[in-house]
Amino acid sequence: MTPKTLDMEATKNYIAELDTTKRDWTITARVTRMWEVRYKPTNPTPDTIDMVLLDEQGSQIQALVKKAIVSHFKDRLQEGRIYTTTHFNVGKNNRTRLQVENEYIIWFTSFTSVTLQEESSAAIPFHKFNLRPIDDLSERTNKIDVLTEVIGQLIGVENKITQNHDNNTDQRRTIHIQDERTNKIAVTLWGQQADLVADDVAENGAQPKIVIITATRVTMFKGNYQLNSTGGTKLYINLEIPEVENFKKNMTDVPLQEILHIEVTQPESLEEAMTKNRKTITELQQIYMEGEENQEAKNTYTCVAKIATIHDQECGWMYTSCNNCKSKIDENQYCNKCEDVPEFPIDRWDT
């Protein structure tokens, strides 16, 4: 696609003007973020391509390309470039896990046209963030309407491990950041996002490392707030933007902290967990009867058995559970044990 000279006067509309009253909108905006969404990790084709668009007025909106037309746009769009876009649909925004707040959302169609524009000194920034202070994340706990963006100094990087996550085996890396007042928080990067930080990040580039992390979920684990990545999470290191410069200026009273390499052990695999402490039903009954006198009663066991009957009790013969701890979740899809909203609740049966 050959870039055309950017002419802001030719732009008919701005993002702030968009609504559902018509379809003949034309906007010029930068694709500041772009990511692929797969409802199942094994899907060969993305279910959607999602983007954040930013125009010269500083307005943002999320745009989506549906699976049926992904092949048409996948090679025509690049993160960071400016496009004039026409013939798209604008709908009411009722989605969750959004990266920007806007009443509306853009849907590309097979009739949508995108024209690449040349870079210009015209002010469409490469980035815009809605950064939340680390010490004020409590109000964001378990909220997934709009995801959370933070800034902090990178102070610790754990090694990458493999762990069961959302019914899949996935990579995981946890990093640790702190703000200008040394408030600290852990950020767990799942799947492909685990590679957003390299093992040798401390040895490369300038210090300190100021990171901006987008599209995270705020959760609580063992009494501490933490951040978890999503499929659209981006991580930026030492961007040359005012937010980073202001952060560095506010760090003048904070001693420069070396980035720690933190070694964590590899958790047991799903196969190991499924065969650990294997017992027969008779053995489990014996352990139950002995109760406190039997120290094994405090252990977790596995058992291979055939379902003989499903009990239809007053309290219900099935319940919806957390995919992490298997506990029952409440009517708001919240797990009180994990203090989190599970991404993939699982139905379980009383057998």
Residue scoring higher pLDDT (291 or 57): 57
Total number of residues shown for the chain: 351
Report the C-alpha gap between 329 and 332 in whole angstroms.
8
Task: Indicate left, alpha or beta for 135 from its phi (over 0: left) and psi (-120 to 50: alpha).
Answer: alpha
**Per the structure block, which two tokens stand in for 196?**
């957003």
**Per the structure block, which two tokens stand in for 13?**
């509309």
Report the C-alpha gap between 291 and 285 in whole angstroms.
10
pLDDT value for 2: 63
Q: How confident is the model at residue 4 (pLDDT cuts 50, 70, 90)?
A: low
Report the C-alpha gap between 217 and 226 in whole angstroms.
8
Is the pLDDT at 199 greater than 70, yes or no?
Answer: yes
Of 247, 155, 254, whose CA–CA distance to 201 is shortest? Answer: 155
For the chain, percent of residues with pLDDT exceeding 70: 89
pLDDT value for 109: 96
Which residues lie closer than 8 Å to 214 by C-beta, 6 or more apart?
33, 99, 129, 147, 149, 232, 233, 234, 235
The 60-66 sheet, strands edge to edge = 89-92, 104-107, 60-66, 48-54, 26-37, 82-86, 113-117
Report the CATH fold assignment for 134-262: OB fold (Dihydrolipoamide Acetyltransferase, E2P) (2.40.50)
pLDDT value for 177: 97
Q: Supply the DSSP string of 232-290, one letter for each residue.
A: T--EEES-SSHHHHHHHHTTTTSPP-PPEEE--PPPPPHHHHHHTTB--HHHHHHHHHH
Give the mean pLDDT of 270-286: 83
Report the CATH fold assignment for 8-117: OB fold (Dihydrolipoamide Acetyltransferase, E2P) (2.40.50)
pLDDT value for 130: 96
Residue scoring higher pLDDT (289 or 226): 226
Report the C-alpha gap between 113 and 117 in whole angstroms.
13
Kindly report the backbone phi and psi dihedral angles of residue 324, in degrees, each rounded to the nearest multiple of 5, phi listed first: -90, -55
Q: How confident is the model at residue 17 (pLDDT cuts 50, 70, 90)?
A: very high
Asked if 214 and 99 count as a contact pair (C-beta separation under 8 A), the reply is yes
Give the mean pLDDT of 173-197: 95
Give the mean pLDDT of 91-119: 93
Is the pLDDT at 172 greater than 80, yes or no?
Answer: yes
For the chain, residues classed under CATH 2.40.50.140 are 8-117, 134-262
Is the pLDDT at 10 greater than 70, yes or no?
Answer: no
pLDDT value for 134: 93
pLDDT value for 301: 87
Lowest mean pLDDT among 129-143, 161-175, 204-218, 247-261: 161-175
**What is the pTM assigned to this prediction?**
0.76
Give the mean pLDDT of 174-189: 95
Residues 220-237 have pLDDT tens digits of 887 889 999 999 999 999
Average pLDDT, the chain: 86
Give the mean pLDDT of 295-316: 71
